[in-house]
Amino acid sequence: MEESNNKSLNFIEQIIDNDLKEGKNEKRVYTRFPPEPNGYLHIGHAKSICLNFGLGEQYGGKTNLRFDDTNPSKEDDEYVNSIIEDVKWLGFKWDGDIHYTSDYFDQLYVWACDFIKKGLAYIDEQTSEQMREQRGTPQEPAKPSPFRDRGVEENLDLFERMKNGEFEDGSMVLRAKVDLSSPNMQMRDPVMYRILRAKHHRTGHDWSIYPMYDFAHGQSDYIENITHSICTLEFENHRPLYNWYLDHIAGDVDRTQQIEFARLNLNYTVMSKRKLMQLVEENIVSGWDDPRMPTISGLRRRGFTPESIRNFADRIGVAKRDNIIEYSLLEFMLREHLNKITDRVMAVIDPIKLTISNYDEGVFEDCELVNNPEDDNSEKRNVPFGRNLFIEKSDFMADAPKKFFRLSPGKEVRLKGAYIIKCEDYITDAQGNVTEIICTYDPETKSGSGISRKVKGVLHWVSAEKAIDAEIRLYDRLFNDEDPLGHEDKDFKEFINQDSLQIIKSCKLEPSLANAKIEDKFQFMRNGYFCVDKDSNPGNMVFNRTVALRDSWAKKK
Ligand code: ATP
Ligand code: MG
């Protein structure tokens, strides 16, 4: 508590604090998260979720989850469900029922009729090209539509018939009569309603007309008594229109205030549902939840924790100007959390046989390992040791340079939690590849026995007989360019990293991992953080590498 009080307030908190001081909105703080269900949420949305729900919690207010479902041709229940799942997984709880802008279609229609009745809206039958030609420039006013001064009765009649589906898609629109010479182009008679005779995911074929974002968003905020409507900077020039509509609907009362902040941009990725959809539809990734995707479901499957994402959102704060955040910061927050919570286990990704020649065949003994040395209350577990083991191929060199502190002929290393072993010999195949390493162990040196010698290398290992097989999926960044969308002459897909997925079969894991469940997370000693993939099953385990132990990209750049 102390700490958060001392933290300097961001500009949104300052606005809210000020509103509370002035007693605005009966001192309520109601926020909302308003996704359009036209795709899966990405890490940018996670930022917005953390911000909106975070403020609701911080000020003892509440936060609505509202689906902004005004564009039936692109929306789907699959997206609604995935968004609900993502918000829950991040650990937030919305107030009461889920809201949908489509719940307000009747009310919005009534309000639109009121605008017509006040002479503030008209039906325009021009084509969109004609309207575009008349728009003018910021310096030059727009030309009035020939339909701008139609009578109220005619407008009401046409609007009703638009609603009843009498006219073709695109044949006419309802426009607000605002200000054709405003320097803000949003105010030059914006469209309020369009004809779209598509099936809506909730209202079916009830409506043939749908409100535009600007005629729905502020009104929905108003209906839900939202006090602070937080959105990204691209809506800054929509704010006068947001207020204009509410001036006419609500009048001069305390009401929602729109506040804009800079959207989250991350390097080495793209964050637009439309672009992410292309990757899915063109099978460049396996789906919206492909572990390389910046979607919340992709990050989840990759092994991110909700805490790491929330900590990241907190750490980057809110900005008023666009900026780009390093992907490695997100991974840093992830490592920081996984380091605290994961058990350290032994898994050999690229195995080679190692035989302890002075250890009896068929005999096994338990070696005790601490699950998580970062946790003072950590439990311990037993790992079986025996004559036949696997270690990583890269931990042995037949002809090793001086500084190679792993295994090589005549050298000693410690096997983690077990014994000090000495390499006596090795076996090669016809091509000269090493196929087996022969060692002896020193029975005096079991870990915990108190008897030891200084050895430089500590290797992870598994028992050949007791290990379980698993498939391991190693990931790299999906794009090999910092700003895949920043090239005018090139499509962002040209920057796909072709080596972003590497599948390794027959990895050998210590037997305790046989009970791991989907999404369980571990540190595979020396190899990184891993989690069980949803494709995994007891006969065919699949692990994703979430992130390496260290940032390997820091060097590459
Ligand atoms: P995209 O442009 O990526 O497709 P969108 O803005 O169209 O996203 P919406 O469903 O309209 O997606 O967004 C829901 C909320 O999330 C909005 O309030 C929007 O401002 C916010 N949001 C979207 N992208 C980001 C981002 N990169 N950073 C922060 N907030 C974001
Ligand atoms: Mg949008």
Question: Can you tell me whether residue 377 is helix, strand or coil?
Answer: coil
Q: How far apart are CA 463 and CA 459, in angstroms?
A: 13
Ligand nearest to the CA of 79: 1
- Active-site residue flag, 353: no
| Two tokens, residue 86 | 């993502």
Residue 20 backbone dihedrals phi, psi, to 5 degrees: -65, -40
Q: Which ligand is nearest to the CA of 38?
A: 1
Q: Where are the alpha helices (DSSP H) in 59-208?
A: 77-90, 105-117, 128-134, 152-163
Report yes or no: 384 and 511 within 8 Å, Cβ to Cβ: yes
Q: 10 and 17 in contact (C-beta within 8 Å)?
A: no
175 belongs to the catalytic site: no
- H-helix segments, 317-427: 327-341
Q: What is the pLDDT of residues 472-520, one digit of tens each?
A: 999 999 999 999 999 999 999 999 999 999 999 999 999 999 999 999 9
Q: Which residues pair with 430 in a beta bridge?
A: none
Question: Which residue among the candidates 273, 301, 310, 411 is catalytic per the annotation?
Answer: 273
- The answer to whether 314 and 90 are in contact (CB under 8 A) is no
Active site residue 505: no
Residue with CA at minimum distance from ligand 1 atom 10: 35
Query: Best mutation site among 36, 45, 238, 271 for ligand 1, i.e. most ligand atoms within 8 A of its Cβ?
Result: 45
Please give the C-alpha separations between residue 464 and each of 467, 485, 539, in angstroms, as whole numbers. 6, 48, 17
Quick one: which atom of ligand 1 is closest to the CA of 38? 10
Q: Is ligand 1 within 6 A of the CB of residue 87?
A: no
CA 261 / ligand 2 centre spacing (Å): 14
Could you give the domains of the chain?
A: 11-261 (3.40.50.620), 273-343+470-555 (2.40.240.10), 347-460 (2.40.240.10)
CB atoms within 10 A of CB 12: 20
Mutate to test the pocket of ligand 1, among 42, 53, 232 (most ligand atoms within 8 A of CB): 232
User: pTM for this one?
Assistant: 0.95
Would you give per-residue pLDDT tens digits along the chain (557 residues)?
344 555 789 999 999 999 999 999 999 999 999 999 999 999 999 999 999 999 999 999 999 999 999 999 999 999 999 999 999 999 999 999 999 999 999 999 999 999 999 999 999 999 999 999 999 998 999 999 999 999 999 999 999 999 999 999 999 999 999 999 999 999 999 999 999 999 999 999 999 999 999 999 999 999 999 999 999 999 999 999 999 999 999 988 888 999 999 999 999 999 999 999 999 999 999 999 999 999 999 999 999 999 999 999 999 999 999 999 999 999 999 999 999 999 999 999 999 999 999 999 999 999 999 999 999 999 999 999 999 999 999 999 999 999 999 999 999 999 999 999 999 999 999 999 999 999 999 999 999 888 888 898 999 999 999 999 999 999 999 999 999 999 999 999 999 999 999 999 999 999 999 999 999 999 999 999 999 999 999 989 999 999 999 887 665 54
Residue 492 confidence (pLDDT): 97
